[in-house]
Amino acid sequence: MTIVLWAVAPLALAQNLVRNGTFEEFSDFENYDFGYKALENNITTWRSPTKAAPRIYSDAQTAKSGKVFIGLHCYGIRGYREYISSPLNCRLIAGKTYVFKMYVKLSGNSEFAISSFGVAFTSGRPDMATNSTLSDSTQVLVDNVKFYSDSRAWMLVEDSFVATGNEAFMTIGNFRSDAETVSKKVVRMAREGRAYYYLDDVSLESLNGHDPCKSIIDSFGCDSVHLGRYNLIPDPSFECYTDCPSNVNTDKLYHLKNWSQTYGTPDYYNSCSIIMSVPDNIMGSEPARTGHGYVGLYMYDKGNYREFLSAQLDAPLEKERWYVVKLYAALSENSGLCTDAFEFLFTHNAPSFTGTDTSAAVPMIDTQYVGTNAARDSMRNDSYKALLQDVTEREAKFLRSITPGAINEPGNYGDKYTWKKICGMYLADGGERFVTMGNFNDDDNTPLKRPEAGGIGAFAYYYIDDFTIEPLYDSNLTDCGAGLPVVADAPDLTEPRYFQDLDLPELLNDEPFTFRGFYFEFDKFDILDTNYVFLDSLLELLLENDDLSLEVQGHTDDVGSDSYNDRLSKNRALAVVNYLIDSGIDKKRIKYTYFGATVPVASNATAEGRQLNRRCEFILKR
């Protein structure tokens, strides 16, 4: 369908919906030997939607603004055409009017000038295996009866159209065939023998100030998402944004109201976007677990590159109180590695990782090394390697200087392309107001493995959603206790005595003993199948010696409140007592006591130690 546009009078316009409309983000390409290079096929910005090869030029005297502009073959070579395409910042709204503008200039070497330019808006990314005319594309057509023939001054192309809805990509060029193109000869003996145009300052704005990028935030109350009555994280599902993310973050994450990038360049995704959309985006495909948005972090990339996000808590943490730290992570489909190194740093003040490059990027190579000469290329590569090594060493030193307060359970890699719970426990010093999440291990100390399905990059990039921090209550005690808490003063440990190492006289000395390998699962008092063999050994001894009596003592690790652990240790002792009674031991010969977490036999600072503490002990008497 072809839509012929009409000119519009000046009206209130919203922000430009075209990213890099002046093309200045291409200003750092290396080879300026001939003042141009072919436009690379980068799906996040301007690219060629066909097999043709438009060019980028750098010349401050020629450009409409800045120094960079684009060149297109539009007519004159047996149907050959060049087009440029770009994703919009967000999808257009049906029934709304949008104003398109760009500036064009005819190349001085062109023999012909043409009378029209077309702009096609599509919902999907245009990819066509051709280098000829895109005559069947839906387009907006801008006609000029006087022709676009000026090779000295930039000419404005401007008109408006009404969106059908959901348009996400824009393609610019000449959509008419050679026979349909209205042209005129402007230079008798031109070197090019064709119509070649320069383009600059492309924009698309909504009429009367309507901003389609804010359509979702207008209809969704971001402050309504709390994810827990006592959650201390503001905006836990990353819904409160000020700007729809149009592309990957290469500088500063300014979109979110309550989150800040502490280090590296984490990304924001929202369904309002196109490249950074939800569920489909540049790193894979994942629906939001809650709402419309989530963030993305490099948890591992070579050269010690990491990304971190921080938030200020709604209230300071209370001294010597346990907190449940929990989020949901989904490995991106582009990731060829996964890691379990999710860690959380708690600080009293806003974290400031100084003394290193906050973008963690390799510095740009000095322009004195740019060129095609082999000797200069060698100097450039050696400089690059030296700079890369320096950055890598600085990042490793920085990472080793940080001690997180809580970590994810070792072995919990989240290696499926779906949301998986990541959690740990934190014992507060008191007064902490900020939390920072990420991986604080350097490359050598980051556990890695390959995901079960695919992945193309040698990195581990995760989507993050639904981040909560809550005080530990009986009602929210979960398997998050497996993470590593930092405990300032560990209690004195008792040396365990094992049934397997003792003979009967040693068992009858009024000191408690247990079985090597006897333990309970976290937050449970059910007897494991592997524990029955131990209890049956004790049962046999009691049945053979009816003059023996038994005391059963229940214990827990230190995750949870004192009252909760007392109740849990009591239930563990009762579970053992009930099994022995059901197996034929007179209940008059058995009694039980319970101690909660007050009598540990191993450190509660490790998962292995906590497992040893989740036990029952026994005292035999005659």
Q: For 536-576, what is each residue's pLDDT tens digit?
A: 999 999 999 999 999 999 999 887 777 778 889 999 999 99
Average pLDDT over residues 345-353: 87
Burial of residue 197 (CB within 10 Å: 0-12, 13-18, 19+) is buried
541 is written with which tokens?
A: 């001894």
In angstroms, the CA 413 to CA 444 distance is 17
Confidence of residue 5 (pLDDT cuts 50, 70, 90): very low
585 three-class SS: coil
Instruction: Tell me which of 181-195, 461-475, 478-492, 586-600 is least confident.
Output: 478-492
pLDDT at 383 over 60: no
Q: For 68-115, what is each residue's pLDDT tens digit?
A: 999 999 998 888 999 999 999 989 999 999 999 999 999 988 999 999
Q: What is the CATH number of domain 499-621?
A: 3.30.1330.60
Instruction: Tell me which of 300-314, 366-380, 512-526, 528-542 is least confident.
Output: 366-380
337 is written with which tokens?
A: 């590695």
622 is written with which tokens?
A: 């005659």
> Could you give the strand order of the β-sheet that contains 549-554, starting from the edge strand earlier in sequence?
590-594, 549-554, 616-621
Q: Tokens 């610019």 correspond to what residue?
A: 172
Share of the chain above pLDDT 70, in %: 84
Backbone angles phi, psi at 120, to 5 degrees: -100, 135
Tell me the DSSP string of 508-529: TSS--BB-TT----TT--PPPG
DSSP structural state of residue 207: B
Query: Are the CB atoms for 65 and 201 separated by under 8 Å?
Result: yes
Decide yes or no: CATH 2.60.120.260 for domain 2-210: yes
Residue 106 confidence (pLDDT): 95
Residue 243 confidence (pLDDT): 83
pLDDT at 382 over 70: no
Confidence of residue 387 (pLDDT cuts 50, 70, 90): low
Q: Which residues of 573-583 are buried (b: 16+ CB within 10 A; e: fewer)?
A: bebbbebbeee
Residue 462 confidence (pLDDT): 97
Q: For 252-282, what is each residue's pLDDT tens digit?
A: 888 898 999 888 899 999 988 999 999 999 9
Confidence of residue 4 (pLDDT cuts 50, 70, 90): very low
- CATH 3.30.1330.60 in the chain: give the residue spans: 499-621
Give the pTM: 0.68
pLDDT at 473 over 80: no
- CATH 2.60.120.260 in the chain: give the residue spans: 2-210, 222-361+403-482
Helix (H) or strand (E) run with residue 71 in it: strand 68-75
Query: Are the CB atoms for 302 and 443 separated by under 8 Å?
Result: yes
Query: Are the CB atoms for 431 and 319 separated by under 8 Å?
Result: yes
Q: At residue 259, what is the residue type?
A: W
Domain at 222-361+403-482: CATH architecture: Sandwich (2.60)
Q: For 412-463, what is each residue's pLDDT tens digit?
A: 888 888 999 998 888 888 999 999 999 998 898 899 999 877 678 899 999 9
